[in-house]
């Protein structure tokens, strides 16, 4: 076993070079020069404004507001039909469970997109949710309404779909 230790001591297989520029006490080592960074050029007001506008554009909502509104209407249509507000008059009956599910989806969508919608998108979502919730509460609390037409002051499925 001593032969192995002697052999490894005689022939080092690698060399360690200390490339640190500071001594352990924090002083600069001898022979090391630190290159000073050139001062950054002052940015003009126009460049700062352009950067701020680019950041604002990145943070702004993108896409067509109609895409989001179509999504809201897509989710609201089955809710309206489940609440007996089918614009075609071919009511399939009232399904409060389906209506509640769709209303909850819209509520989740509202929470998750809060602060990132355009004024038009936010207003459409709030209006549709308010109308659906009022109709759901009216029906779930035992209020009956005619399937032939909207209740007084209520709205129809065509109000939601725009048809």
Tokens of 24: 């352990």
3-state percent breakdown (helix, strand, coil) of the chain, nearest 5: 55, 0, 45
pLDDT > 60? residue 70: yes
pLDDT > 60? residue 64: yes
Q: Within 11-95, where are the H helices?
A: 45-59, 65-82
**103, burial (CB in 10 Å: exposed 0-12, middle 13-18, buried 19+):** buried
- Please give the Cα distance from 144 to 46 (Å, whole number): 64
Tokens of 114: 């809060």
As a whole number, mean pLDDT of residues 21-49 equals 74
At residue 135, the pLDDT reads: 93
* Nearest of 97, 79, 104, 101 to residue 140 by alpha carbon: 97
* Nearest of 137, 134, 140 to residue 160 by alpha carbon: 134
Q: Taking a C-beta distance cutoff of 8 angstroms, is the pair 96, 139 a contact? A: yes
Domain ranges in the chain are: 59-161
At residue 36, the pLDDT reads: 72
pLDDT, tens digit, for every residue of 86-144? 767 666 789 999 999 999 999 999 999 999 999 999 999 999 999 999 999 999 987 55
More confident call, 100 vs 10: 100
Q: Helix crossing, 96-112 with 65-82: angle to 10°?
A: 160
Residue where the block lists tokens 């640190």:
20
As a whole number, mean pLDDT of residues 139-151 equals 59
């Amino acid at each position: 076993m001593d032969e192995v230790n002697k052999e490894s001591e005689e022939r080092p297989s690698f060399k360690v070079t200390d490339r640190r520029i500071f001594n352990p006490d924090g002083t600069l080592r001898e022979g090391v020069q630190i290159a000073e960074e050139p001062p950054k050029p002052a940015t003009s007001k126009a460049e700062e404004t352009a950067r701020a506008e680019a950041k604002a554009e990145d943070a702004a909502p993108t896409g067509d507001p109609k895409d989001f509104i179509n999504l809201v209407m897509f989710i609201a249509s089955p809710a309206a039909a489940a609440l007996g507000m089918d614009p075609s008059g071919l009511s399939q009956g009232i399904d409060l469970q389906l209506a509640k599910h769709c209303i909850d989806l819209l509520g989740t969508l509202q929470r998750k997109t809060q602060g990132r919608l355009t004024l038009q998108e936010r207003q459409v979502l709030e209006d549709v949710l308010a109308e659906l919730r009022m109709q759901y509460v009216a029906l779930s609390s035992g209020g009956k309404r005619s399937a032939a037409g909207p209740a007084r002051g209520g709205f129809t499925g065509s109000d939601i779909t725009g048809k």
